[in-house]
Structure 1
């Protein structure tokens, strides 16, 4: 279980400030490559948040998201800000949480037109469940003087591309609404953050306040009015969600000391029982009065770890041959595995940390293959990192 903070990222300074106002005593945390985060707690709670600014675009967002994940090992990554609505059914000021994210600029240009080839990332089930619960409670929004209608939470697809959309009649606008007609909102960063989370095994949620309709009516006056309100609404829901995520993490995590004490009690119980009675054991051995239970393989040194990693390569090959892993995922997995093998031969804290970090990223890459995830977990521990 991660004991890190919840990471919240934004693309615009306006969005950053909306989240920062929700934090108590934010302190600067500098990444070794110069990226600056601020770490504080959500006001009135013990929920720690690491806040970062990505700037515009999926590429920048992906890089900063990966840095945040590697730096903080977060409970989750929340990308928070404003977006344009694709349909009139979503009101200005409402908040859209992505059920899934489309990277809509994937495609192939053919004689009869542009064919969509999107990449899609679904929101983690656990986060979606918590968000739906908060939406039902409907106690997250800040009071807005002069506005009778409270913002509502909408759940649906969000489309993320590389250009600002502000038309309903342009060829691209029509194409997007034709091929992604279930998308509620459109923006420019969610795909990058979702990909970073996927490759690093981190849970990602995208939360957007609706500040315009992406239909040609966007103007400076409306931006001055609706952008702050939409950003504030998104920040209010995101920090409420962060508190619930942190609370659930605390409730489900078992302290390491408690696990050790439980294991010691089990060892004493089994040893005492072995002296006085007959024990039936599946997949274990008994030597004298000592009972040995089979456990997940643990590497005892760099050589053993390298052998286990080479064995994992064979498992990857079998999953690819059986069609469980697609070719792109298989190649990315091999790249991470080779990187882990290179660092596994070292015998320093830095190389151990690098190996464990790479293996955690690899585990996120193959997260849809339970057998591979199970095989990687003891290897991460053997490399010297938390599983």
Structure 2
């Protein structure tokens, strides 16, 4: 079973194009209701992306986020675009990753004025942790097209509503300062996609914004200076790095029956193995139980299957899939590199190399996920690799 894709949505054409430039061989996917998605793999990685343009505003963002979730059952949904900064320490071009999304267009009118009724959606803990790790390690600098000097990344709340704010003294600006004064940036779509994720079994939703103006009356000037293009390029760079990491850690747990697949695959493999000793007598597999993908071995610590032989079988099947046209050349090259890493890691035989082996197999599986029989065999070997000391 292949990894689930990551959905990325944008509001503006320039935002869409910034993500699209990171995709290898994007292909059109038409929804029954007319929405057009493009599907592709991230350059230099194995993450599959479903990309769509939703237009401006909370409502279209919510509707098309719901549509994308239903269509692709993704591992996560990212909304990528530009925003206005609400604090002086945030520079033009910086990236803001939402820890919360405030829906600020809610309240009740009383005789003594308007009272706020805030709506808040919190970013999932796991996605937030991955994003912070990417920032701390600077690993997004390794993405194709990364600048020599990365912009600052800020983690905090983002305010989302149906208004483009371009003033620090307007009634709306005062309202936001009074009720949402910890918001780092303001935009128009985050509340819609956050609600869609919440209503779909709390699907991880991350809003990533590049700062293109200061929401202070200078928007026309900063737009003329092409800060939108620079800001969204930075946001897209961080978003694609985040998508790649989310995909690498995705085990498809949100899918029905996914939890039992690994153990069943191992049982199938263990039951089919037949080894022979140096003489003519058969040697039975020395395994008596399999639990959740972990093989418990009797008679020694060695795994019950010869992993080098299993990897050799995967390579043979992989080459056969290429010859049959089931794997395109770009995918073959990327997957072949991961398989080579796995073979080298297994040969090293150290505990550190075993972690490398598992990661390489996960990436390989993500790349060949459309070849179901090959992906199933990789699942088997991956489960067995986890039993290595």
Fold match, TM over 0.5? yes
Q: Quote the residue 2:248 is aligned against.
A: 247
- Deviation string, structure 1 residues 102-137 (Cα, Å, up to 9, x no partner): 000111111222111111000000000000000001
CA–CA separation in structure 1 for the residues paired with 2:11 and 2:63: 12
Corresponding residue SS for 2:181: coil
Whether the 8 Å contact between 1:2 and 1:73 is mirrored in structure 2 is no
CA–CA separation in structure 1 for the residues paired with 2:265 and 2:222: 63
Q: Quote the residue 2:64 is aligned against.
A: 64
- Deviation string, structure 1 residues 258-312 (Cα, Å, up to 9, x no partner): 321456789x958xxxxxxxxxxxxxxxxxxxxxxxxxxxxxxxxxxxxxxxxxx
Task: Give the superposition deviation at 1:4.
Answer: 2.1
Q: Quote the residue 1:210 is aligned against.
A: 211
Corresponding residue SS for 2:246: helix
Q: Quote the residue 1:137 is aligned against.
A: 137
CA–CA separation in structure 2 for the residues paired with 1:21 and 1:200: 29
Whether the 8 Å contact between 2:86 and 2:186 is mirrored in structure 1 is yes
Whether the 8 Å contact between 1:12 and 1:55 is mirrored in structure 2 is yes
Q: Quote the residue 2:116 is aligned against.
A: 116
- Deviation string, structure 1 residues 38-64 (Cα, Å, up to 9, x no partner): 000110111100001110000000000
Q: Quote the residue 2:74 is aligned against.
A: 74
Whether the 8 Å contact between 2:99 and 2:123 is mirrored in structure 1 is yes
Corresponding residue SS for 2:168: coil
Whether the 8 Å contact between 1:27 and 1:38 is mirrored in structure 2 is yes
Whether the 8 Å contact between 1:3 and 1:73 is mirrored in structure 2 is no
- Deviation string, structure 1 residues 292-345 (Cα, Å, up to 9, x no partner): xxxxxxxxxxxxxxxxxxxxxxxxxxxxxxxxxxxxxxxxxxxxxxxxxxxxxx
Q: 1:258 to 1:95 in 2, by over 3 A?
A: same
Q: 1:252 to 1:62 in 2, by over 3 A?
A: closer
Corresponding residue SS for 1:93: coil
- Deviation string, structure 1 residues 78-103 (Cα, Å, up to 9, x no partner): 00000000111111101000000000
- Deviation string, structure 1 residues 203-252 (Cα, Å, up to 9, x no partner): 10000000000111111553452000100000000000000011111598
RMSD over equivalenced CA pairs, Å: 2.4
CA–CA separation in structure 1 for the residues paired with 2:253 and 2:70: 23
Alignment of 1:1-387 (within 5 A): 3-141=3-141, 142-144=145-147, 150-201=150-201, 202-220=203-221, 222-250=223-251, 257-261=261-265
- Deviation string, structure 1 residues 333-376 (Cα, Å, up to 9, x no partner): xxxxxxxxxxxxxxxxxxxxxxxxxxxxxxxxxxxxxxxxxxxx
Corresponding residue SS for 2:219: coil
Q: Which runs of 4+ in 1 moved over 3 A?
A: 141-145, 220-224, 250-258, 261-266
Q: 1:41 to 1:2 in 2, by over 3 A?
A: closer
Whether the 8 Å contact between 2:106 and 2:119 is mirrored in structure 1 is yes
CA–CA separation in structure 1 for the residues paired with 2:102 and 2:252: 33
CA–CA separation in structure 2 for the residues paired with 1:258 and 1:221: 52
Whether the 8 Å contact between 1:2 and 1:75 is mirrored in structure 2 is no
CA–CA separation in structure 2 for the residues paired with 1:250 and 1:65: 22
Query: Which consecutive residues of structure 2, in runs of 5 or more, have no partner in the other structure?
Result: 272-286, 290-389
CA–CA separation in structure 2 for the residues paired with 1:94 and 1:227: 11
CA–CA separation in structure 2 for the residues paired with 1:221 and 1:229: 11
CA–CA separation in structure 1 for the residues paired with 2:265 and 2:251: 19
CA–CA separation in structure 2 for the residues paired with 1:252 and 1:111: 51
Task: Give the superposition deviation at 1:139.
Answer: 3.3
CA–CA separation in structure 1 for the residues paired with 2:114 and 2:69: 35
CA–CA separation in structure 2 for the residues paired with 1:183 and 1:129: 20
CA–CA separation in structure 2 for the residues paired with 1:257 and 1:179: 48
